[in-house]
């Protein structure tokens, strides 16, 4: 597989990661489509196993998300800024403390947004809990799954 094709697959995977954070965009399925496209071009056993693993993981995640309470964006005060901070926090956490750092990074991003908006720890902590109950858990589950799949793809491509 050529460098340009790998870059295009990486772009689709990146769009999928951002798509998880945007309501109405099928982020997990963009990630899966990127892995599918790559595995159809790179027909090694590792590519096919990654496709199978990603498919199973995404299906399990979808069942888990369906079982969670529905997202209730209205009335909670979720802003685009909060979504960006939460996504960047999850990405930084995932890189700084591999895999498990995504969860505290995501929550920290929401907390920092609320702390700057509300001005204190108490109100920011209460608002963070409210946001996590409303939308955070389902988005976090999808984002964490997609981050795992992208990390596995990077490991296979890098030959690790």
- pLDDT recorded at residue 61: 92
Q: What is the mean pLDDT of each run of 10 residues along the chain (160 residues)?
A: 89 90 84 95 92 96 80 67 87 84 88 90 89 78 91 90
Q: Which helix (H) or strand (E) holds 102?
A: helix 102-118
Instruction: Please report the pLDDT score of residue 2 as a whole number.
Output: 83
Q: In whole angstroms, how large is the CA radius of gyration of the chain? A: 17
pTM for the predicted model, two decimal places: 0.74
Specify the pLDDT at position 135: 73
Residue 49 has what pLDDT? 96
pLDDT of residue 22: 77
Sign of torsion, CA 113 119 124 130? Answer: negative
Only one residue has tokens 């340009």, namely 4
The CA–CA distances, whole Å, from 53 to 7, 106, 118 equal 22, 24, 42
pLDDT of residue 67: 79
């Amino acid at each position: 597989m050529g460098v340009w094709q790998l870059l295009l697959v990486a772009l689709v995977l990146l769009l999928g990661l951002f798509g998880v954070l945007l309501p109405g965009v099928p982020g997990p399925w963009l990630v899966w489509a990127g892995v599918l496209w790559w595995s159809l071009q790179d027909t090694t056993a590792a590519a096919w196993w990654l496709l199978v693993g990603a498919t199973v993981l995404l299906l399990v995640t979808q069942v888990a998300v369906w079982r969670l309470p529905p997202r209730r964006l209205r009335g909670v005060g979720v802003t685009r800024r909060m979504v960006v901070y939460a996504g960047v926090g999850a990405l930084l956490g995932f890189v700084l403390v591999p895999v498990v750092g995504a969860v505290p990074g995501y929550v920290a991003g929401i907390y920092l947004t609320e702390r700057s908006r509300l001005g204190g720890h108490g109100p920011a902590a209460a608002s963070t809990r409210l946001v996590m109950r409303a939308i955070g858990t389902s988005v976090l589950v999808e984002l964490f799954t997609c981050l795992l799949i992208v990390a596995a793809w990077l490991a296979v491509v890098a030959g690790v």
